[in-house]
Amino acid sequence: MRHSALSGTTVTRPDGAGGLLRSLRTQRELWLLCIPIIIWVAVFAYYPMYGILMAFVDYIPGKEIFQCDFMGLKYFQQFLTNPSIALLLRNTLAMSSLSLTVGFVAPIAFALMLNELGGRKTKKLIQTVSYLPHFISWVVAGSMVYLVLSSDGILNNLLIQFGATDTAIPFLTKGEYYWTTYTIVNIWKSMGWSSIIYLSAMSGVDEELYQAGAIDGLGRWGMVKHITLPSIAPTIMLLWILGIGNILNAGFDYHLIIGNDATRTYWDVIDTYAYRYGVQQGFYSMGTAVSLMKSLIGFLLVWATNTISKKLTDTSIF
Amino acid sequence: MRKASYIKKTTGGTVFDVFNALFMILLTATMIYPFLNIFAISLNEGTDAVRGGIYLWPRKLSFANYAYVFSNESLLRGAAVSVLRVAVGVATGVFGNALLGYIVSNRAFYGRKFMRVLFLITMYFSGGLIPTYLLMIRLGMMNSFQVYWVPNIFSAFYMLLTSSYIQNLPESLFEAARMDGCSELRLLVSIVLPLCVPMLACIAVYIGVDQWNSWFDVSLYSKNGQWDNLQIILYRLLNQATALQKMMEKQRVAAAMKTLQPLTVRAATTIVVTLPIIFIYPFFQKYFVSGITIGSVKG
């Protein structure tokens, strides 16, 4: 029995096995509503989790996983000894580490600069505009990338007009440019949206702190350094830990839309590889093994970073 | 916020303010410029636009691109699928997550914790692309509309949003209704839902934008093209040089449309796909913060 402080009446919350039976009787209606939900979550969330086991067997569609030949870690081994893995890892780590450094700092810098801007309305307007790229689909973003960066695109037009280059620069067809364009487009698309959480942490800072800082002789930069930044430090740490877990996620939609055969050696990442082999060519077990390995490494990295962060800064996500 | 009087004015500070303002204006311009440019191109005559050099204003104004987009059969069908996706996806998703949130916020319900944990686990673990893909095939959802909404009815993330909102409603409300013999479903529909309209509107926007923007699941499951939406058509216009030709062969093209070019048709389609988003998202800004905070703390 529990006492509800709000209404002053008792709320029955039966405990134990007898409680379950009683609940099935008295709360039958709620349980009935739960049935379709439980079926849904079992089919669409838990059954695919069970499907991961196909990474350990030679899966043939139409058969049950336990009816297929057990392969152990063969597919994992096959992937790890695959000659193309070096290239995949290079591309994955190059693009994800660019996102984790430049892409991670950009929204923080944006939030800090926006916070220094005077005028509520201007700030609000800039913020609203900065969200826009987040809400458009990757296909639309891709359409704009083609428009700006293709050999007869706006950027090349401008560069030629101002004499910066004689011939068009092949931003989209030369592999060397791929990582840079990927990083810039990603920042363009996500910076405004990612800054929301920092801005909301900044707006929570007590105004009196700044007043006290002024009395102690802090200038503008001093206030940013000693008051604003420390106030968002836990948020930065939290997002950093989560970001580490994404180190093997180096984009997917973008590569399928912007990547082409000429630039493949620069964009083929673990996810696109698993998709190509696992879905398009039908090597289901192999593709699942690759994805599983990727998730496990991501999880281990988050756990390790979290442990270190807990020790050093007292910030943790679990 | 901090233009308060207690901050000393210095030359350095003023210089910084000027540069900061200039930088912000420049940044905002780069955010918005691709949209303006693509809009200008979509309003330009095709053969003229290919020559390049259109920045902010169309050089040879023409509505042929839009006329084409709004008369092409596959594009119109794609638009209908897109709209249907949003309508069905939002209706089922909002109701589903409201129901789920209502169940797991009922403190007296014995199965509350069980249901909550059942969904929270799905936030951290998932089967991934291939097992999900094979499941959809197995369920016969290939080339069907159901694959767009049935797998998206419930979500742990929206469950957290709805349940935390419903939990903050006064408990006496529920007790009074239950005392009067109101059934749970009726309580949800006629008492709880009307009180949650702002939060439900926010979820509706999230789900609606997601549904509108989806293209990858279409490329996976709409193999015969019957349920292609606008995004996947635009994707093909971008990635297959012959896509526009194929589409034009299917219908007799009016004389005014002879000047059509992939570039301008693409631009017009992009604008049609983007406009609904531009008009909707600014109105729900104030809810974004709470949504993001819940998402990042618990996920």
Q: For residue range B137-185, list pLDDT tens digits in order.
A: 999 999 999 999 999 999 999 999 999 889 888 888 888 888 888 888 8
The per-residue pLDDT for A23 is 84
For the cut 60, the answer to whether the pLDDT of residue B71 exceeds it is: yes
Q: Which of B52, B100, B130 sits opposite A278 (nearest CB)?
A: B130
Kind plus residue range of the DSSP H or E element containing B175: helix B171-179
Q: Mutate which of B115, B117, B130, B288 to test chain A, going by most A C-beta atoms within 10 A?
A: B130
Q: Any idea where the domains of chain B sit in the sequence?
A: 73-224
Q: For residue range A71-105, list pLDDT tens digits in order.
A: 989 999 999 999 999 999 999 999 999 999 999 99
Q: What percent of chain B stands above pLDDT 70?
A: 89
The per-residue pLDDT for B4 is 59
pLDDT band of residue A5 (cuts 50, 70, 90) is very low
Cα nearest neighbour of B107 on chain A: A13
For the cut 80, the answer to whether the pLDDT of residue B8 exceeds it is: no
CA–CA separation, B157 and A267 (whole Å): 31
Q: Is B17's CB within 8 Å of A116's CB?
A: yes
The per-residue pLDDT for B179 is 84
Strand partners, A10: A3
pLDDT band of residue A8 (cuts 50, 70, 90) is very low
pLDDT band of residue A3 (cuts 50, 70, 90) is very low
Chain A nearest-CA distance from B65, in A, is 16
Q: Give me chain A's average pLDDT, please.
A: 88
CA–CA separation, B220 and B84 (whole Å): 18
DSSP B170: -
**Torsion B106-B109-B113-B118 (CA) sign:** negative
The per-residue pLDDT for B13 is 81
B156-170 CB burial, b ≥16 within 10 A, e <16? bbbbbbbbebbeeee
CB-based contact, A203 to chain B, within 8 Å: yes
Q: For residue range B198-248, list pLDDT tens digits in order.
A: 889 889 999 999 999 999 999 999 999 999 999 999 999 888 766 777 776
Chain B residues within an 8 Å CB radius of A11: 107-108
Q: Which of B134, B292, B296 sits opposite A61 (nearest CB)?
A: B134
For the cut 90, the answer to whether the pLDDT of residue A275 exceeds it is: yes
Overall average pLDDT of the A178-204 stretch:
93
CA–CA separation, B161 and A89 (whole Å): 37
CB-based contact, A19 to chain B, within 8 Å: yes
For the cut 90, the answer to whether the pLDDT of residue B286 exceeds it is: no
Q: For residue range A138-164, list pLDDT tens digits in order.
A: 999 999 999 999 888 889 988 998 988
The per-residue pLDDT for B172 is 84
Whether the predicted model's global pTM rises above the 0.90 cut: no
Specify the length of chain A in residues. 318
| End-to-end Cα, chain A, rounded Å | 31
Q: Is B2's CB within 8 Å of A34's CB?
A: no
Kind plus residue range of the DSSP H or E element containing B205: helix B197-213
Q: Give me chain B's average pLDDT, please.
A: 87
- Domains of chain A are 17-72 (no CATH), 83-313 (1.10.3720.10)
pLDDT band of residue A286 (cuts 50, 70, 90) is very high
The CATH homologous superfamily for domain B73-224 is MetI-like (1.10.3720.10)
- B222, B228 in Cβ contact below 8 A? yes
A6 or B107, greater pLDDT? B107
Overall average pLDDT of the A211-219 stretch:
86
Chain A residues within an 8 Å CB radius of B185: 29, 33
For the cut 70, the answer to whether the pLDDT of residue A220 exceeds it is: yes
Phi and psi at residue A11, to the nearest 5°: -110, 125
